[in-house]
Amino acid sequence: MPISAAVTAIGLVVMWSSGFIGAELGTREAAADTLLMWRFLAAAAVLGGVWALLGRRRPRPRAIAEQAVIGALSQGGYLGGIVWSVGLGVPSGTAALIAALQPLAAGALAGRLLGETVSPRQWAGLAIGLGGVALVVQGDVSAGPAAPAWAYGLPFAAMAALLAASFLERRVRAPLEPVDAIPLHCLVSAVLFTGVAVAGGHAAPPAGGGFWAAVAWTVLLSTVGGYGFYWLSLRRNGVTRTSALIYLTPPTTLVWAYAMFGDAPGWTALAGMAVCVIGVTAATVRHRPDARRARTGPRLADPEPDRTWRTPNPAEPRRTGPTARGQRPTEVTPQVKEP
């Protein structure tokens, strides 16, 4: 049974937001590259096993090459930039705010690169959503720890990596279903983050069970759920509407944090949530051009000619051949054979 657009949107927002909570759980136990390494090693093993059990056909070499680049950008580039910046001291709210600039960039480029129409209503919704995100994270920005200046460029690089992956996925010549693409993405990311962790001397996992609980959280909810709904939404809703849903990530993360850690959002954050909902609604709700016609009733049209099938009468003369102006059509009288 196909997943509806509403379920796809809700699943994307909830599962994508779970990644920030998983990062908080994991980095309490180990370094960021350690968490990312074991997260994608486990995800590649689990999803690769499921892919094999399903008996999926091996993708063509071109499709493998295309999805390898997309996976390196969407998971390696995006998650690496976000988690690394937070580890260097950039406040998580600041990183979320910068990453939330993706819808504006997607809206600006979708028309030029993909031919998608971005209406003024969608532009207004994207701008309103950005204002809501700023309200949600302003407290985190003001109270965040100091970080080197260059670290603030990492969330911008992460946003650009995910945006590039989104555009490439829409332009691939050999598209794959998510069940085939996501295991490949995880395999590529596992190779990338394993190299980073080994080079930094952080490959050994901690012995505590909290680390592996965080790994399970990020694999099931963030990787399978988050990226699965993300690529599904791209196929169903396009780049602009999918990117606009990312605006709901910071306020939804606040709900997660309140439920998991008891961090109650303030009035400013609640106001930002409401503004985000208004902006995303304006940017994602599809406009129905024939709604006015539906209210006023159908327009009267000329009656169509009678196309009822009639059994031909063998005794009736039939007209054959084209007729010029001023000429009568040729009548052919059927010949009835005598018994």
Assigned token pair, 152? 């603030």
Three-state DSSP class for 318? strand
- Alpha-carbon distances, residue 225 vs 7, 13, 18, 178, 333 (angstroms): 12, 10, 9, 11, 73
- β-pairing verdict for 330-332 and 318-320: antiparallel
Nearest Cα neighbor of 160 from 217, 225, 221, 99 is: 99
pLDDT of residue 114: 57
pLDDT value, residue 217: 93
Predicted local confidence at residue 187, as pLDDT = 94
Tell me the mean pLDDT per 10 residues along the chain, length 339. Answer: 75 87 84 92 93 89 91 89 79 73 67 65 78 73 68 86 84 82 92 94 90 92 86 79 79 82 75 79 63 44 44 49 50 43
Distance, in Å, from the CA atom of 184 to the CA atom of 65, rounded to the nearest integer, reads 10
CB 251 within 8 A of CB 273: yes
